Chain A
Amino acid sequence: MIGVFICFCGQNIGGYINVPELTDYFNNWRDDVVAFNTTFLCSEIGQDLIKDKIEELNLDAVVVASCSPKHHGGIFQNCIGQKMNQYRWEFANIREQCAWVTPNKKNATEKAKAIIAGAIEKAMLMNDIGSTRVPVTKDVLIIGGGIAGMHGSLELTDKGFHVHMVEKKETIGGHMVQFDRVFPTDDCAMCTSSPILAEVAMDPLIDIYSLSEVIEVKGRPGEYRVTIRRNPRYIDESKCTACGDCTTHCPVEAWSEWHYGMATRAATYKPLAQAVPLKNRIEKESCIRCGTCENVCKANAIMYDQQPEEFEITVGAIMISTGYDILDLSNTEYHQEHPNVISHLQLEAIKVPSGPTAGEILRPSDGKMPKHLVFVLCAGSRDRRHNVYCSKVCCMYTTKNARLIKSEHPEMKITICYIDVRAAGRGYEEYFDKAREMGINYVRGNVSEIVPNGEDLILRVEDTFTGEPLEMEADLVVLSSGMIPSQGTRDMSEVIHVVSGADKFLAPVHVKIAPVDTANTGVYIAGTVEAPKPIQECITDAGLVASRISTFLKDPEIEIDLKTSKINPEICIKCGTCADNCVYDAIDTTGEDFKVQDVSCQACGKCSVVCPTGAIDLQLFTEDQLIKQVDGILAEDKDSIIGFCCYQCGYNAADLAGTAKAFIDPKIKVVLVPCSGRVTIQHMLYPFFKGAKGVFVAACLEGQCHYIDGNLQAKEKVKLAKKSLDLMGIGGRKLNLFNMSSAEGPKFVAASKRMVEICQ
């Protein structure tokens, strides 16, 4: 027996749909279905109604006909879970996807019938979904030892976790330790960070792997097996005392990467007096193998033939904090190749007291102090030819260095060209105000042109306030270049399969309410790996990640619901196709029978789509459930156009169309799928055999699938299915794929309109 519970939602549904008629209809529909209605199903009264009826009528499953499951799905699951298995229910979204998009009450009521009928058919096939407990490892991996990584590691060891920190460079510290001062307090960056560096170095619960990279991550949340490659230092870390004798005697003078080419170094060096680990390193490209260091090193630490080594560790959770880089604007209209056009990171490298000029601002070409220093804001930012986005911190750090330089050299003319000054933050506006008071010349206009003129530069910019074009001569130009995800960040998105956005920064599950969680359970992001941001926000992120990780790993075991895929060993032929198609390595092919590792499986369903025998299927959204749901809809309204909408984007966009009260033709009927990659060719063709007028798949934007490539797989399937439809004489044009983000309600409206036009 199935119980259907229909909600009036006050006037929200009741005003558009004839709820009493609907209730009568389903009460007389079939013997094994009973229907009820109430004003607010989510209220205590509503929930009690559901619970009472489950008990009284011994219901097998429940259909909740109300708002989108994205709103109160959790409430109903919880309510039903008190009386039977919490997955023995199905929703019928008759508010966002019916009442609000269908102006005619009669049509809306008819459409609701089809939606509910589909839900009933699916609910008939609902099984109990169990849960399981798996052990977790308490160790944590932190990738990237910048300020975010360092802060996160200390927070975690404070909570008793053991941290493995993998850092690509020869020292941890990241960008912050390369700066002179930091806004908004103008305190010395090194004074703030060196205690942190020291604390990390001395913490017995932190293992630091410098010059190292993560090359493979396998396993599951709670038990990730991580392969690390440690690149050679050519100096034995256990012996080197960092005395610097080798550096003193090394004959090589090479450009220092650490100073962005603003200083030189020997082939054996340490980038920083406070480096962690405090060890020298021989940089292979510049070393000439003269043997000098080997002779002078009293500790016998030089190891010219050291090889890279690989080793594996096991961790329960991962924090990625691989940070940012800035755009290289050489050989562009910014002329960064000119010696006196430098990036802001290069300026910081000059400005640090330990730098090549002991902190004096001397221009690279001739070592003279500039008379007119011009800062170019938005260099490559807010520019569709480079970075569309704003890098958020450039206005502030540029103001910082302009203020610092001005206070030391009041006679120097300093100009900042900008489009908008973004000084939103506590104390920021005051900071900006002070800069103007100090006589720093802010010109509101984007630099049009930088023209090399011997050692100087000529800049053209409109002062948009007076509306007059300015021609300025500068003897040093500093580009506040746009920030981009570091190469390491981009690599990590490949190695760990974390979704990134169009800007290639790693994407959180939800920007607002889950800002450091990723779609991969147990993997978190902190700092500029997620977006350009100031140090303060990196710290906030890192603290939050530490808290999220300690919650995730608080018990020796974690419980997971088995909504996952499952293999039926009877018919599995062990071809391994599913395992090849699973980006989460969730299918264990090593044992007697192939098995899905429930903790790793993200329940996208891409495996079941490729299995040649149908041996693997999701336990929720099964093959049969989806087919039955379609049957139910088409039995009520055979003229329907079936839209398979992915949970993350397509379905959300459809909901938003409802929230906006847009018009959607009642022919359109949405069938929810976890990922567009779960839709099989069979799903695409079947509705046509049952009389449907059209079929579409609404998926995430390309490159933004929450399961990496589900939408690309769907694209291929749609192509094939279109061909079949052509051959069958039905017409491939009646099947289409639409890409949209979760925020693009209008795109869903347009897609629906298009489908109705095509499928007249």
Chain B
Amino acid sequence: MVIKDEEMDFEFSKKLEKELANSFAKCFQCGTCTARCPGGIISDYRTRKFMRMAQLGLKDKILSSDEIWNCTTCSTCKILCPWEVDPLSTILKLRREAVRAGHENKKHDPLVKSLANYDNPWLQPRSARRKWYKGLDVVDLTENPGGADVLYYVGCTATFDKRLWGMARAVIRVLGKAGIKVGVLGKDEKCCGGTVRGVGHPEMFEALAKQNVEDFNKAGVDTVIFSCPGCLNTIKNTYKAEQMGEIKPKLVHVVEFVSQLIKDGKLKLDKDVKRIVTYHDPCHLGKHCEVFDAPRDILKAIPGLDFREMKFIMKDSWCCGAGGGVKTAYPERATELAVNRLNQAEETEADTICSACSFCYQNLLDGLVAKKDSKMEMKDVMEILAEAIEE
């Protein structure tokens, strides 16, 4: 097909580049990003080509593309690019432009509608947010501000997927053991907005963000802890203070918080855990928030545990495939990437693969189901840690 002169909208290209610092305009088409892009494994999506199309201003071609929805927002491209171009930001920007132009990915519709109506992407009623912590000693900070030491922001995935309740409950148990009183936002917890941001709805994102900032500031605690790195990254790195307001409490992932407790001797690990464990770095915790050591420190501190690294770890780790709306739009593709990662895990001969992310948990679990023959078990770091603690 011939690209006609009128298809090249350099104004579009100029406008985008102006809004994005350091992005596609400088790309010299080396392909470094693309060779290692998980989205490119499951589809015909090619990061580099979008950089080129953006340079040429091929507005219609880009905005009506199906391929762009295969990016898992893992950030590998950003880390690898030798010219320090930030392809991921470009892709996210193009997605927003696509939605604005009426080219949203229809498969994201239920998710977006659910968020508009229920503050969560899973079509669940608000009251169901309380179920996971039934019977645990947890303070609802919306009723009793300042009534706890920390606010635990569970995130929608762990709240509504029963398979993850074990993880969330383990967090409460571990913190309780260290004498820390945990608070939650109960039925008023809201989605962080990361998903709608990723799939191109900035207005919804902004509304959720403002609400969350307000809730955090009202909770009366000085630390908010997260299980889901997606939420943490969204809130910590993409909320803009001038736009959404300043967040007063400190924001940390639970593994950072707990590894510090262990270092300070505030958490005693008294039981052997007889497992061979390997750890999967969640993209949003590792590549985005640069937390690599904390989960490893925890695992290495557990008595009896045999910890083994995979070949691709930390900045080089492969994405599980769930992020960026891929799992919602193309669940079978997300599973394909999960299987790819699980195969790498199996090379270590571990009996357990663990991670520190609700989304990775879900997806790797689906991967295990799809693999059928795997003898590995999926766990969260906190679940394994809870096994090392006497009741």
Chain A positions within 8 Å of B, measured between CB atoms, are 378, 382-385, 419-420, 444-449, 451, 460-464, 467, 469-470
Contact = CB atoms under 8 A, between A and B. Distances in A.
Nearest to A420: B28
B316 to A, nearest CB: 7
B49 A469 contact: no
Contacts of B30: 378, 382, 419, 445-446, 464
A284 B36 CA distance: 47
Given A462-B34, A464-B30, A384 B82 contact: yes
A460 B83 contact: no
Contacts of A464: 29-31, 34, 48
Nearest to A469: B35
A579 to B, nearest CB: 45
Interface-centre pick from B33, B34, B41, B84 (highest chain A CB count, 10 A): B34
A470 to B, nearest CB: 7
B100 interface: no
A462 B48 contact: yes
A460 B48 contact: no
Contact of B32 (A448, A463, A470): A448
Contacts of B48: 462, 464, 467
Given A382-B28, A469-B36, 11 more contacts: A378-B30, A378-B82, A384-B82, A444-B31, A445-B31, A445-B34, A461-B31, A462-B32, A462-B34, A464-B29, A464-B34
A446 B31 contact: yes
A447 B30 CA distance: 9
Contact of B83 (A384, A444, A451, A470): A384
Contacts of A420: 28
Interface in B301-317: 311-312, 316
B40 interface: yes
Contact of A469 (B28, B40, B311, B312): B40
Contact of A470 (B35, B46, B311, B312): B35
A303 to B, nearest CB: 50
A384 B31 CA distance: 16
Contact of B35 (A382, A385, A462): A462
Nearest to A419: B30
Contacts, number: 69
A13 B49 CA distance: 50
Contact of B82 (A446, A451, A467): A446
A448 B37 CA distance: 10
A460 B82 contact: no
B80 interface: yes
B32 A446 contact: yes
Given A382-B28, A449-B316, A469 B83 contact: no
Interface in B72-90: 80, 82-84
Contact of A460 (B28, B36, B46, B49): B36
Contact of A461 (B29, B35, B49): B35
A419 B28 contact: yes
Contacts of B32: 445-448, 462
A463 to B, nearest CB: 8
Contacts of A447: 32, 35
A451 B311 contact: yes
Interface-centre pick from A419, A451, A464, A467 (highest chain B CB count, 10 A): A464
Nearest to A381: B82
A444 B35 CA distance: 12
Contacts of A378: 30, 82
6 contacts: A384-B83, A385-B82, A445-B34, A448-B35, A449-B36, A470-B35
Nearest to B315: A333
Contacts of B36: 448-449, 460, 469
Contacts of B312: 451
A334 B31 CA distance: 16
* Majority-rule SS of A interface residues: strand
A467 B49 contact: yes
Interface-centre pick from B30, B41, B316 (highest chain A CB count, 10 A): B30
Nearest to B82: A383
B281 to A, nearest CB: 16
A460 B35 contact: yes
Contacts of A469: 34-37, 40-41
A152 B80 CA distance: 43
B83 A383 contact: yes
A293 B34 CA distance: 59
Interface-centre pick from B31, B33, B36 (highest chain A CB count, 10 A): B31
A382 B33 CA distance: 15
B75 to A, nearest CB: 14
Interface string B20-46: 000000001111111111001100001
List the 3 closest A-B pairs by CB distance, nearest first. Answer: A462-B31, A446-B30, A383-B82
A447 B35 CA distance: 8
Contacts of A444: 31
Contacts of A460: 35-36
Contacts of A446: 30-32, 82
A285 B83 CA distance: 41
Nearest to A462: B31
A467 B47 CA distance: 10
A360 B337 CA distance: 43
Nearest to B34: A462
A385 B36 CA distance: 18
B45 to A, nearest CB: 10
B29 A448 contact: no
Contacts of B28: 382, 419-420
A671 B40 CA distance: 58
A469 B42 CA distance: 12
A382 B40 CA distance: 24
A452 to B, nearest CB: 9
A599 B150 CA distance: 73
B325 to A, nearest CB: 22
A384 B85 CA distance: 10
A461 B80 CA distance: 12
Contacts of A419: 28-30
A445 B36 CA distance: 12
A378 B31 CA distance: 13
Contacts of A462: 31-32, 34-35, 46, 48
A1 B31 CA distance: 70
Nearest to B84: A384
A444 to B, nearest CB: 8
B52 to A, nearest CB: 9
Nearest to A467: B46
A462 to B, nearest CB: 3
A382 B83 CA distance: 7
Contacts of A448: 31-36, 80
A470 B36 CA distance: 10
A460 B32 CA distance: 9
Nearest to B40: A469
Interface string B292-304: 0000000000000
Nearest to A459: B35
Contacts of B311: 451
A382 B80 CA distance: 13
A592 to B, nearest CB: 59
Contacts of A470: 35
A447 B33 CA distance: 10
A273 B355 CA distance: 60
Contacts of B49: 467
B101 to A, nearest CB: 25
A461 B32 CA distance: 7
A382 B37 CA distance: 21
Contacts of B83: 382-384
Nearest to B81: A384
Nearest to B316: A449
Contacts of B31: 444-446, 448, 461-464
Interface string B360-379: 00000000000000000000
Interface-centre pick from B35, B36, B40, B80 (highest chain A CB count, 10 A): B35
A450 to B, nearest CB: 11
A447 B34 CA distance: 10
Nearest to B85: A384
